[in-house]
Structure 1
């Protein structure tokens, strides 16, 4: 692919989301990358595991280029509901992250090998024909969505926030500044609800 190839633009956008997701695991304990932080069990390592299956499915199986990966819960009887959204105690961080990187490399090879108008087939009843362009649009959206989930989960775990370790892409401010900002947002919410309280 050349630097002006639209496939490369799309792949880079996907890679930005992949990178943002993976750094959210950095520096955390085994417990913290696995613990459920929402009522539906959302956790950091589970998000990586889920996206491993998604990339293998959409940029592997769909285009006749299978790549071993955990099955997505949406793919029928292959897995129990939500099995791809959490890690069992014997599934290591290293294995899940290595699987994700391996599947992403396989996905990148699919992107490089096929034109954007290449047609793949999503199995189902009935099967759905879909172009590589449409698959990439879907995966970019899905990966960025889950990277956003990871942003919130990581902030709840230890307060770390931002897009990347070296480029937070956030307003500058220390802990005190953020505490004051949060309080302003809280006051505005209460005022809008007609339930003001003293600062």
Structure 2
């Protein structure tokens, strides 16, 4: 990308109850007790997982089918593919790992060819979102049913590392979901300028101020590249 590339006008994501009510900006007193409580720990991990799920799904709001599928990186990263991927990973970690496979799982879940990273022509945006909701509901049922020390096996991990607990998988999936929600945040901003999650963490700037901010960063980058080239 060069400074001459077209840049979408920044418009912050509106604040919404879907994301806020799932965590993040609504902090609680979880973890304030000096005594480690397994139930409270599970609640905290689950809440953060739900927050990142909501943030990821929100990046599809307002996108047309073409935009949702549009690859913005050389490796093909697209918002709808990220949602599909996370739904599939979630189904595996909270399903097969604990002997609770997702009923009527789609065939692409067993594919190693990257079929989870994009929606086919036979799949609509609504299809992918519906599957994500189904995967999330199944995951939540597993989380509610098991204790943090419940044992599971991840068959696709290397031997010697496959034995896990629900605690570890909750941490793993919260991390996995947050990572891809961040990817989606950047992809969406590159598509149409929508930025942030509406949770108050994006700087409060006008459209003109964002243009000036980026121009300042471009100037710094250009000038830093000249450092050492002049006498």
Q: How far 1:70 sits from its partner (Å)? A: 4.2
**1:114 has 2:146 as partner:** yes
- Aligned partners of 1:112 and 1:176: how far apart in 2? 48
Q: Go from structure 1 to structure 2 and tell me whether the alpha carbon gap of 1:58 and 1:179 turns closer, same or farther (over 3 Å shift).
A: same
> How large is the Cα RMSD of the aligned pairs?
2.0
Q: How far 1:190 sits from its partner (Å)? A: 2.2
Contact preservation (8 Å) 1:70, 1:84: no
**Which has the larger Rg?**
2
Q: Deviations over 1:51-80 (max 9, x none)?
A: 11111100111000111444677xxxx314
Moved over 6 A (4+): none
1:27-42 equivalences in 2 (<5 Å): 27-42=62-77
Q: Go from structure 1 to structure 2 and tell me whether the alpha carbon gap of 1:138 and 1:72 turns closer, same or farther (over 3 Å shift).
A: farther
Query: Larger RCO: Structure 1 or Structure 2 (Cα < 8 Å, ≥ 6 residues apart)?
Result: 2
- Aligned partners of 2:148 and 2:197: how far apart in 1? 28
Contact preservation (8 Å) 1:60, 1:110: yes
**1:59 has 2:59 as partner:** no
Report the equivalent of 1:96. 128
- Aligned partners of 1:161 and 1:191: how far apart in 2? 27
TM-score, scaled relative to structure 2: 0.76
Structure 1: gaps spanning 5 or more residues = none
Report the equivalent of 1:151. 185
One of 140, 154, 160 as aligned partner of 2:194: 160
Secondary structure in structure 1 of the residue aligned to 2:91:
helix
